[in-house]
Structure 1
Amino acid sequence: MRHHYALAWEVARRNGHLAFELDDNSQVGELRRVAVAMAAKLGFDETTRGRVALVATELGSNLVRYANRGRVLLAAVESTPGKLAVEMLSLDHGPGIADLSACMADGHSTGGTSGTGLGAVRRLSDEFDIHSSVPSGTVILARLTTRPAPPPSGPFVVGAVALALPGETACGDGWSVRQGEAGTAVLLADGLGHGWEAAQATSLALATFETAPFDDSRAMLQKIHQALRTSRGAAVALAQLDPAGTHVRFAGVGNIAGRLISGLVDRSLLSQHGTAGLRLGSLHVVDCDWPAHAVLVMHSDGLFSRWKLEGAADILQHHPGLIAAWLMREYCRGRDDASVVVVKRRDV
């Protein structure tokens, strides 16, 4: 299916990723055109649009030639506060890269492309990360923005993936993150059902959150509940992190789960039953310590709840956006909108 540029922009602006299944060279051209159109919508200059085109071509061509069931996810994301980037996530199910260091050498061709290779994808990108295992497959993150890119700021790094139900043009899941002196606040919302009405409910939840992200958790969820009364409703979860990154406050309603996970810790953060906008009971707020080296994961019920890291514990050492993409590749149900948000300390 071809993506209309204006529609593609609307979906991406709502925090959803566009999915490009790649098994033919003609689909690589479509990925490149939409990525460049997105960069133009963001106001990127000609040089940056050229970098976007090269990265899209290399990632897409690599999947067509070598991957089993490969696709690229495309979105406009906030890479640093106030700075937008085009994000491309390449996911495949094998065969994996046996010699990753050789493939990452600049100029190493992935077979008949422009000869740039994954090393040049890394050089052209402002943020880049890769994880590969044999025979499971490879996940790559590439973010591009206008240069010079601002230095990283804030104590946390955040990554997320949101995908619409296959066949839908709008994603009913969405997320927002705000960082400030009071800490960092993350909201994940899953509009009831799917399609545009679900997306509208999620947009209302995100807009309400963004007016006062550091309000008391119960008060914020009550505000969202009131704002969604004219909508079909949504599951929502709010995580507020202290500036030092040592404490988490979590509250949610509906089928959104949270976990603090590391090599030593695996703690679930549970939402209560209900739906914001329809039925909201007495809210329960979880206050807990954030263990050293732990990563916060929040996801909708579009992902299987009993996911695990067996055989890929090292994934937690990577960029949160890559972790989110890996979880989506491994555990997406494929029968509903799906979203996952990952937060980790910048120094972990």
Structure 2
Amino acid sequence: MVRTHSLALIIGLVGVASVSAHQEPKTDAEIETQRALQRAAYYCAPAVGEFTAARKRAWQQQVLSGLPLNQAAFAPASIPSAGNPSLPTNEDLFNSGTYPSGSQTTPQGKQEILACDVIEEETEMQNNSCVLTPIVTEGPYYHNSGHPIRQNIAEYQIGLLTYLDIGVIDVNTCKPLPNVLVDIWQANATGHYAGHPEPAPHLVNEQPQVGGKRSGLLSAFPRTNFHEQWLRGAWQTDSHGVARFTTIFPGYYTGRATHVHAKVFTSWTENPNGTFDGGKLAHVGQFFFEDDLNMQVDKMYPYVENPIRDIRGRTRNWRDSLNIFEDSHGPEGEYNPIFKMHLLGGVINQGLVGFITMGINGSYEMDNWWKG
């Protein structure tokens, strides 16, 4: 049976501007729309901060407590996990008493308002350290149909185990946004997307663009394999506005910094085969990782087998083509699109967990389908 999901509109539009693929705001209306979202997310920063910090504290408490943790991060808490660290269930995260509410107090008696990291010595507000900017390009590797609804998107791709904890708030209300669909897709450890294994035959010897915004880029690989779905998937935020995924740390490819793509749909149609058709699109963005972490992962198998490792190497965040990394900080540079990462165990090869919160306008509908 086909089911249609929808989210009731909460508040009127901050602004109406149709945004095409990687179209920077140019008109007065588009610029004001972007800045309105910016201001709203800024004022939501304390709420976002506690939202993110609470999820991190709950996870850390479970790991440090030595209590049995849920199997594969998302199974019911009643299923034993052989003591391996993983993310807590939604019930564990948001049970009363699981984590302190409100602002914390340092040993020196100073009030601390934390937006991301729980650091006892911190006394300054870190306003936007975990808020993802609105609206950047979806890129050429999105599949308009066939994205599965699932939390574990890794399939049989080999790589560093990575859990992603993605919170969504509505900038109209500064509250977590439940029942929206977070859709993510990424490259594998050697820089390929599912369905796009090779360059077009006439572009096999193509060299990267030199100079300009497209510096370092190659033409997009065509989709020639239509059954592959690995490292693609979508999941509905729970009643607390959180969607969680199991994946691997993404690899890199020519011209682009390491990243994960994301869309948020406020309505969609679920198909009988477990995939969905998108409806109202409220957000398009890209997540990034710290360069130092990227460089460490580069030393691990199978990331060392990236075919461009010894030819062109990775693109650092600050050299990301099309200015996507820069654009992801917003028109006034107030956002931070980088996951806050933590080790799952004592060493990096035991896996990672990353936290980020997206501030979106739940009443907004955009046109951001790839037209390149």
TM-score (norm: length of structure 2): 0.25
TM-score (norm: length of structure 1): 0.26
Q: Which structure carries more relative contact order (alpha carbon 8 Å, separation 6+)?
A: 2
> Which structure carries more helix by proportion?
1
